[in-house]
């Protein structure tokens, strides 16, 4: 069956769903094609921190009803090392905050708002294939409910994540991948227990990194640095709690335990594609870049890309093609700053190596953390990046 739309979006993660709302607001027609089911997407537990500018993007679209009600506004974070916990007060340092609100909740809000709009979202699609993106009449072919579809559009947006199909159709001569792997991964748990902290704790410990985050006043989210080839089967609940007590422990502070409802191991990688535009194809979010989660930037970068792309497409249909022609450069310029921050936070807080090499690294990290927590200027640098750089042109 042949369909026609203005913008064909591949992927119904946060990037694709949010772009749909930006286009709807501008009166631009779109369809979203997603390979997974709605339930599967809602079940994926991922990011948890929204930058102030991400909250503003959602607020401008009126998509912040539940976010305002249930999001936890945090003035800062804690950095912990060598048995001491230091508060980094973003609000005091630079007058900005972050909001703790799960990616699942963001996605749920976006989907419910699409239900109200009656948006065309094809979940459970098979063999999704963008075509003719070097021409002004690109299309996306896909199977859905036993029928083969071909949607023709003015532009295709690849919001299909790191493993998506869109980036892969760009000829190798037109795109370069920049990558960095890390010798560690995160074991993450969700636990039915009130958070033991008012704000997120990022801890460097000789055994490795640990972190205490949260999803609500009743649910805690905690992470442990583990080996990238470790198996979750090696981690009983008892072993996980013991590791968390050891790495997060502090005299006079108690880590409350609760029932673990989810546990998994996620590898870490930094990746940036050299371009986010090829012909009539544009990439957004994880399709174009990924970061290790230490700076809480994955979801926020997806939101900033889409805010820029939505504004650029809106300008294009109002007669100004300038912003669309510079989208890739502007998105990548912000992304490289975010990449550097994510890498810096990751390197500062994770242990690696053996023997004297590991010791050298660890002592340098403690030195860096002592410097950062002891310098008002260094703290402001961290605060400015953690709470989010401005989104240009939005
Ligand atoms: P998503 O969320 O991956 O959504 C892409 C969507 O595209 C679909 N898709 C396709 N659809 C059609 N055809 C195809 N061929 C397709 N191939 C894929 C997928 O099913 C999916 O629904 O990308 P998006 O929208 O760019 O959003 C990015 C964020 O999801 C991501 O940056 C963060 O969640 C990264 N991330 C984390 N970031 C943080 O800031 N803090 C975290 O704690 C954190 N934890 C995580 C994460 C990413 C993870 N992944 C990707 C493995 C934990 C995990 C497990
Ligand atoms: C989370 O709550 O899942 C979370 C928070 C901050 C991060 C990474 C993950 O840096």
pLDDT at 349: 98
State which ligand 1 atom lies nearest to the alpha carbon of 36: 20
Asked, for residue 282, whether it belongs to a domain, the answer is yes
Domain-embedded: residue 223: no
For residue 95, the CA-to-ligand 1 centroid distance in Å is: 30
Tell me how many domains the chain contains.
1
Q: Is 339 among the domain residues? A: yes
| CA–CA dist 111, 149 (Å, integer) | 22
Residue 202's pLDDT is 98
CATH at 109: 3.50.50.60
Q: Are strands 155-158 and 7-10 parallel, antiparallel or unpaired?
A: parallel
Q: Which of 103, 220, 290 to mutate to test the pocket of ligand 1 (most atoms within 8 A of CB)?
A: 103
323 CB within 6 A, ligand 2:
no
Pocket-testing residue among 49, 299, 385, ligand 1, by greatest number of atoms within 8 A of Cβ: 299
Which pLDDT belongs to residue 394?
83
Residue numbers of the domain that contains 153: 2-49+103-178+270-344
CA of 290, nearest ligand number: 1
Domain-located, residue 36: yes
Is 87 assigned a catalytic role?
no
State the greatest distance between any 2 C-alpha atoms of the chain, in Å, as a whole number: 66
Instruction: Look at residue 178 in the predicted model and tell me its pLDDT.
Output: 98
In angstroms, rounded to a whole number, what is the distance separating the alpha carbons of residues 252 and 247? Answer: 15
Q: List pocket residues of ligand 1, CB cut-off 6 Å.
A: 10-16, 33-36, 41, 46-48, 103, 125, 128, 159-161, 164-165, 266, 285-286, 293, 296-299, 302
Is 74 among the residues known to form the active site? Answer: yes
Token pair belonging to 367: 């030195």
Residue 358: the pLDDT is 97
DSSP 13: S
- Given this model, what pLDDT does residue 57 score? 97
Token code pair at residue 38 = 């709605």
Among 74, 205, 212, 289, which one carries the catalytic annotation?
74
Residue 122 is predicted with a pLDDT of: 98
Q: Is 317 a catalytic residue?
A: no
Task: Give yes or no: 182 in active site.
Answer: no
Closest-CA residue to 190 (of 294, 40, 43): 43
Ligand 1 center–CA 82 separation, angstroms = 34
State the distance from the centre of ligand 2 to the C-alpha of 251, rounded, in angstroms. 24
* Annotated catalytic residue 202: yes
| Among protein residues, the one whose CA lies closest to atom 5 of ligand 2 | 48
- Rounded distance between C-alpha atoms, residue 371 and residue 331, angstroms: 31
Query: Looking at the domain assignment, is residue 58 inside a domain?
Result: no
Q: For a ligand 2 pocket test, name from 51, 222, 223 the mutation site with the most ligand atoms within 8 angstroms of its C-beta.
A: 223
Task: Give domain status of residue 221, yes or no.
Answer: no
Instruction: Check pocket membership of 7 for ligand 2, CB cut-off 6 A.
Output: no
- The whole-model pTM stands at 0.97
**pLDDT of the chain along its 394 residues, tens only?**
999 999 999 999 999 999 999 999 999 999 999 999 999 999 998 999 999 999 999 999 999 999 999 999 999 999 999 999 999 999 999 999 999 999 999 999 999 999 999 999 999 999 999 999 999 999 999 999 999 999 999 999 999 999 999 999 999 999 999 999 999 999 999 999 999 999 999 999 999 999 999 999 999 999 999 999 999 999 999 999 999 999 999 999 999 999 999 999 999 999 999 999 999 999 999 999 999 999 999 999 999 999 999 999 999 999 999 999 999 999 999 999 999 999 999 999 999 999 999 999 999 999 999 999 999 999 999 999 999 999 988 8
The total of other beta-carbon atoms located within 10 Å of residue 50's CB is 29
Q: Which atom of ligand 1 is nearest to the CA of 290?
A: 32
Segments in the chain forming alpha helices (H): 14-25, 38-43, 52-60, 65-70, 90-94, 103-117, 237-248, 298-317, 322-325, 327-349, 355-374, 376-386
In the sheet that 121-122 helps form, which strands lie side by side, from edge to edge?
121-122, 30-33, 7-10, 155-158, 281-283, 277-278
281 lines ligand 2 (CB under 6 A): no
């Amino acid at each position: 069956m042949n369909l026609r739309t203005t913008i064909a979006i591949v992927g119904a993660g946060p990037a694709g769903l949010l772009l749909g709302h930006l286009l709807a607001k501008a009166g631009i027609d779109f369809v979203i094609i997603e390979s997974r089911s709605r339930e599967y997407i809602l079940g994926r537990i991922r990011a948890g921190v929204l930058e102030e500018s991400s909250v503003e993007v959602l607020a401008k679209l009126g998509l912040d009803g539940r976010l305002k009600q249930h999001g936890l506004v945090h003035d800062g974070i804690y950095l912990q090392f060598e048995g001491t916990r230091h508060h980094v007060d973003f609000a005091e340092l630079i007058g900005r905050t972050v909001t703790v609100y799960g990616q699942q909740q963001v996605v749920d809000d976006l989907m419910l708002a699409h239900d109200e709009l009656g948006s065309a979202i094809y979940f459970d699609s098979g063999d999704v294939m963008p075509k003719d993106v070097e021409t002004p009449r690109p299309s996306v072919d896909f199977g859905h409910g036993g029928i083969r579809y071909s949607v023709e559009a003015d532009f295709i947006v690849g919001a299909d994540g790191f493993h998506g199909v869109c980036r892969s159709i760009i000829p190798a001569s037109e795109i370069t991948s920049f990558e960095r792997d890390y010798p560690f991964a995160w074991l993450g748990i969700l636990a039915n227990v009130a958070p033991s902290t008012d704000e997120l704790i990022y801890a460097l410990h000789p055994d490795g990194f640990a972190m205490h985050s949260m999803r609500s006043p009743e649910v805690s989210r905690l992470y442990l640095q583990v080996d990238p080839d470790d198996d979750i089967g090696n981690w009983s609940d008892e072993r996980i709690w013991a590791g968390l007590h050891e790495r997060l422990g502090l005299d006079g502070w108690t880590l409350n335990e609760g029932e673990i409802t989810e546990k998994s191991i996620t590898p870490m990688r930094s990746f940036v594609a050299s371009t986010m535009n090829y012909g009539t194809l544009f990439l957004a979010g994880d399709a174009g870049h990924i970061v290790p989660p230490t700076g809480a930037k994955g979801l926020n970068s997806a939101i900033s890309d889409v805010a820029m792309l939505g504004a650029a497409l809106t300008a294009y249909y109002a007669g100004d093609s300038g912003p669309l022609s510079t989208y890739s450069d502007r998105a990548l310029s912000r992304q490289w700053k975010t990449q550097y921050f994510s890498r810096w936070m990751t390197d500062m807080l994770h242990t690696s190596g053996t023997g004297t090499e590991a010791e050298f690294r660890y002592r340098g990290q403690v030195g860096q953390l002592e410097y950062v927590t002891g310098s008002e200027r260094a703290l402001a640098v961290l605060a400015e990046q953690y709470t989010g750089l401005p989104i240009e042109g939005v």
